[in-house]
Amino acid sequence: MTLSKNSRVIAARLSLHGVKRFAKIEAAMPMIGAIVQGEIRTLTPFITGTLRRGVSFRFYKQGPFSILLETYGTAYYTVFVEFGTHKMAPRRMFSKGSANAQVKIESYVRMI
C-alpha cells in the first residue's frame, strides 16, 4: 500500500475550521478521494490496464477532527512501478498524482 502524504496534510488543514465545516468535508470525502484517484490514474503507465484500474482509495476517521485519505494499488507490482527497481527507474504516480490533486482539492473545499 502506498500512503499519500499530501492527503494527510490536506486533512490536517481542513480540520482547523470547526465542527460544522468538518462535517461537510467528511461528507465530501468520497469526492475528494475520487479527485486524487483520477489524478493518479492519469499518471499511471499502462499496457493492459490492470495497474490503472487497481488504483483505489479509502479514508479513515482517526479522531474527532482528523481524517486520513489512503491511496493504494491492488496490483502486486504497484510498488515496483512507484519506487523502481535496480533494472527500472521509478515512475512516481502516487506522489505526483496526490501533489497535482492538492490544488483541485483546495479549490473544491473552498466551494463547500
pLDDT band at residue 17 using 50, 70 and 90 as cut-offs: low
Residue type, 87: K
- pLDDT of 15 reads 53
SS3 75: coil
pLDDT band at residue 46 using 50, 70 and 90 as cut-offs: confident
Least confident of 11-20, 30-39, 58-67: 11-20
**Residues 64-112: tens digit of each pLDDT:** 778 888 999 999 999 999 999 999 999 999 999 999 998 898 888 888 7
For the chain, give the mean pLDDT: 84
Q: What CA–CA distances, in Å, run from 91 to 47, 64, 79, 98, 106?
A: 14, 36, 10, 14, 25
Q: Who has greater pLDDT, 80 or 20? A: 80
Rounded (10°) angle between helices 93-111 and 5-14: 20
- pLDDT of 2 reads 47
Number of domains present in the structure of the chain: 1
pLDDT band at residue 6 using 50, 70 and 90 as cut-offs: low
Q: Which domain holds residue 23?
A: 5-111
Q: Who has greater pLDDT, 33 or 6? A: 33
